[in-house]
Amino acid sequence: MTDPRITKLAEILVNYSLNLKKGEKVLIQNYNAEPEFIKALVRTIHKGGGLAFVDLRDRAIERELYRDGAEEQFELQARFELERMKAMDAYIGFTSLRNSFAWKDIPPEKMDLYNRYIWKKVHIEERVPNTKWVVLRYPSAAMAQNAGMSEEAFENFYFDVCTMDYAKMSKAMDPLVELMQRTDRVKIIGPGTDLRFSIKGMPAIKCDGSMNIPDGEVYSAPLRESVEGVVQYNAPSEKDGFKFENVRLEFKKGKIISASANDSARINGMLDIDEGARYLGEFAIGVNPFITQPLLDTLFDEKIAGSIHVTPGNSYDDCFNGNRSSLHWDLVLMQDDASGGGEIWFDDRLVRKNGRFVLPVLEGLNPENLR
């Protein structure tokens, strides 16, 4: 018998996140097969009158494909996947994590080919702007281990996070959206961080369960050349099979002029993939009340209550600041008391201090009001 929590999650994804319409074609793309969840998604899609398509993938197999693959192979794979994506109306992508570092020993030049051909052409240029999409993770022993939790405790945490009342969160986000859309100057300060930029005229987009599960952020984008100062991130980040820690970026006229981490050569290689990788494409504020610590998974970590992320690389079309890149890397800075604190200022007005909103109109986004 299917766990009712799985059924509930499938219904949220299909009926709320995708808002599926009769006749729409949905691609389910899964790393490391979870048959019960996939079957629940297929049933829900068919029940709503949609057409379900399934693509089962495995990171260990792809490691073999990409590690020694010729450029022609990456180019052809991108062409095949792009044609399929163009035929879809909607997309559900999820991973059941087995090993965060499964791709760690893929040579950087091969990861560059993957990002330039497959990720950029299929996902950034086609899926993101042209389909209804939602991405998520599915609970696994590896995710529980990364979180320092038992498998049962992590599974309970996961379903609390992923099946929360996103409609309530969405309503509470509205005042923050309105405030950000009236804002010109943003200042972010904290230990090792003094960053300033403008978001004047940029939209503010609420992420309320319609594109990510879990969700819980409001994002905008800095004006491309307005960014000045330095940011010192305090959450680790897994990217292309490597665990980056203590990432520090320094900006001048919008461009990253200095980057360091536990592997400074590697991070600078990533930022040199193209011109846009050294500029920011996103600024976002995390508000999910159930996520309070890094899990070494961006999809969760960028939603941490009391966090922000400022993102090197590509800017989304619905909040486009002119920056294009095959990179989009959500690096997270936590600003709660336990993480060292910090402040967000809009036009010389304090908005959030040590992870808590201080303006009365925004207090509905503090954790105790969203749980």
State residue 261's pLDDT score.
98
Judged by DSSP in three states, 144 sits in helix
- Paired tokens of 169: 């969160």
Burial of 89 (0-12, 13-18, 19+ CB in 10 A): middle
State residue 147's pLDDT score.
86
Residues of the chain with pLDDT under 70: none
Q: H-helix or E-strand containing 31? A: strand 25-31
Of residues 256, 284, 194, 280, the one with CA closest to residue 231: 194
Dist. CA 189–CA 115, nearest whole Å: 32
- Paired tokens of 333: 């800075």
| Residue pair 334/234 in contact by the 8 Å Cβ criterion | yes
**CATH superfamily, domain at 4-162:** Thermophilic metalloprotease (M29) (3.40.1830.10)
- Paired tokens of 116: 């330039």
Up-side HSE of residue 47: CA atoms within 13 Å toward CB? Answer: 12
Dist. CA 181–CA 257, nearest whole Å: 28
**DSSP at 223:** -
User: What are the b/e assignments for 270-293, b being 16+ CB within 10 Å?
Assistant: bbebbebbbbbbbbbbbbbbbbee
State residue 213's pLDDT score.
92
| Residue pair 51/27 in contact by the 8 Å Cβ criterion | no
Q: Is the backbone peptide bond immediately before 214 cis, with ω within 30 degrees of 0?
A: yes
Return the ∠ at Cα 254 (arms to 251 and 265), rounded to 5°: 50
Dist. CA 316–CA 218, nearest whole Å: 13
- Paired tokens of 45: 């899609």
Return the ∠ at Cα 128 (arms to 122 and 129), rounded to 5°: 110
Burial of 80 (0-12, 13-18, 19+ CB in 10 A): exposed
Note the Cα 207 to chain centre separation in Å.
10
**DSSP letter for each residue of 259-286:** EESTTHHHHHHHHTSSGGGGSEEEEEEE
Dist. CA 102–CA 143, nearest whole Å: 14
Chain mean pLDDT for the chain? 95
State residue 2's pLDDT score.
82
Q: CATH 3.40.1830.10 spans which residues of the chain?
A: 4-162
Which stretches of 131-272 are DSSP H helices?
A: 141-147, 151-162, 166-181, 264-271
Sole residue written with tokens 């959450």:
235
Residue 269: CB partners within 8 Å, gap ≥ 6? 108
- In sign, the C-alpha dihedral spanning 83, 276, 66, 59 is negative
**DSSP at 208:** S
First CA to last CA distance, the chain: 29
Amino acid at 217: E
